[in-house]
Amino acid sequence: MTSLDIFCRQVLARSEEHRKAVYLLHRESVISQVVAILREELDSMIRVIYLAQISDPKRQNELIEAAITNQKWTQEKGKGKVTDREMVEIADQLHGWTKSVYLFGCGFIHLSSFHDYQERDPLDMITPSEKKDIIEHLRYYHGGPSEQNPTYQDILPYLPRVFDKIASNLRHHLEDLKNL
């Protein structure tokens, strides 16, 4: 079994566990954890996209080896680490929604005011531009919400679909990576 096979297996196993958790937690209205899992799934996707855009097979394999041996991803020649920002920017060039979903999800990964969502609307805590991006992407890819000025509560029914979209893209990019 190659390092790439192991990497793909662990990515798919994580994704399947995420899928189960998203549907279970959404059904039980544990929404902050649903969004956190969306962000984790997106993390897998941006890493796969990052790997796929590397043209040097040796460098690509170094990062895959790092991923399967619990090592940090470092820049070539050890000049710092590969940052999430760098990977998100590359993924956002392919999918215009990546950055907005990633940033919104970070608010649920880290302790933030977003965890007070039952009293304060997280969509009111982001910039109007970020809110517009999220709502437009939900409407374009998932058919809603239809409200003129949607609230966080209005977007909750769409979260499982958002997960499915990210997971589908992840699988697609994994296939691309395997076929390089």
- Is the pTM higher than 0.95? The answer reads no
User: In the prediction, which pLDDT does 97 show?
Assistant: 87
Phi, psi of 81 (to 5 degrees): -100, 160
Contact 22, 159 (CB under 8 A): yes
User: In the prediction, which pLDDT does 37 show?
Assistant: 97
Only one residue has tokens 């544990």, namely 30
DSSP 115: G
pLDDT digit string (tens) for the chain, length 180 residues: 999 999 999 999 999 999 999 999 999 999 999 999 999 999 999 999 999 999 999 999 999 999 999 999 999 877 899 999 999 999 999 888 899 889 999 999 999 999 999 999 999 999 999 999 999 999 999 999 999 999 999 999 999 999 999 999 999 999 999 998
Burial of residue 87 (number of CB atoms within 10 Å: 0-12, 13-18, 19+): buried
Spans of all domains in the chain: 3-178
Only one residue has tokens 């097979």, namely 57
* Cβ neighbours, 10 Å, residue 178: 13
User: In the prediction, which pLDDT does 58 show?
Assistant: 95
Residue partners of 64: CB distance under 8 A and separation at least 6: 3, 4, 7, 51
* Cβ neighbours, 10 Å, residue 81: 11
Cα(152)–Cα(101) distance, integer angstroms: 14
Contact 100, 126 (CB under 8 A): no
